[in-house]
Amino acid sequence: MKTKFFLPCTLTAALIILTTQVVNSQLPSSITLTKTVGTTAGVCSATSNITVAAGTTVYYCYTVTNTGSTTLNLHDLVDNQLGTIFTGLNYALLPGSSINTVDAGLSIPVVINVTTTNTATWKAYNAGPSDIAEAQASATVNITTGTLIPISDWALYFGIFLVFVFIVARYLIDKG
């Protein structure tokens, strides 16, 4: 009888210990990063790839999401083309929550003259440093080649051309 009673108690204790270890274990710190680019200040664009004319001011937005189970309190953001955006930014990024640079009060405008792809690295961590998580994201700004004239402007230029032809024709008729 002792053996039958002892075996289930041992098995039950082992299951309790195993269950406690699984429940108490934390997922590693992890984040995701999204980088977008647009031409309107104060908003995060919906795209990471745009086409503009040379000399256009574009606005970058970086959004980080805490996909781990630990609150991350300190943040660094570095862009390979723009340099350090911030370091040691104090913001409690709770598990499952997000923050972007626009909501953090940052505007990141850049005048683009050549096609540019840049990559950002966001590092989120706690003092120590501990619980370090990093993520990267890229955005591309393409420059148009040539000058695009809207269709309404074509109509204007065609009208000016016709007036010029009419004036030249009238001159030749009157002279001739």
Q: 91: alpha, beta or left, given left = phi > 0 and alpha = psi -120 to 50? A: beta
Amino acid in the structure at residue 93: L
Cα 108-131-82 angle, rounded to 5 deg = 20
Q: Report yes or no: 74 and 89 within 8 Å, Cβ to Cβ.
A: yes
| d(C-alpha 142, C-alpha 100), whole Å | 23
**pLDDT for position 137:** 98
pLDDT at 2 over 80: no
pLDDT at 62 over 90: yes
| d(C-alpha 114, C-alpha 144), whole Å | 9
Q: Report yes or no: 43 and 134 within 8 Å, Cβ to Cβ.
A: no
DSSP 147: -
**pLDDT for position 4:** 47
CA 32 → CA 75, 133, 161, distances in Å?
Answer: 13, 9, 56
pLDDT at 48 over 90: yes
| d(C-alpha 42, C-alpha 48), whole Å | 16
Q: Which of 150, 139, 147 is nearest to 53 (CA)?
A: 147
**Which residues share a beta bridge with 93?**
72
Mean pLDDT of 98-112: 96
The CATH fold assigned to 28-145 is Immunoglobulin-like (2.60.40)
Mean pLDDT of 77-106: 96
Is residue 72 classed exposed, middle or buried when 0-12, 13-18 and 19+ CB atoms within 10 A define those classes? buried
Q: Which of 116, 115, 123 is nearest to 62 (CA)?
A: 123
- Higher pLDDT residue, 24 or 48? 48
**pLDDT for position 110:** 97
CA 82 → CA 65, 95, 116, 122, 134, distances in Å?
Answer: 22, 28, 11, 13, 18
**pLDDT for position 5:** 43
> Where are the domains positioned within the chain?
28-145, 149-176
pLDDT at 125 over 80: yes
User: For 127-140, how does the pLDDT look when each residue is reduced to its tens digit (9 = 90+)?
Assistant: 998 999 999 999 99
- Higher pLDDT residue, 68 or 170? 68
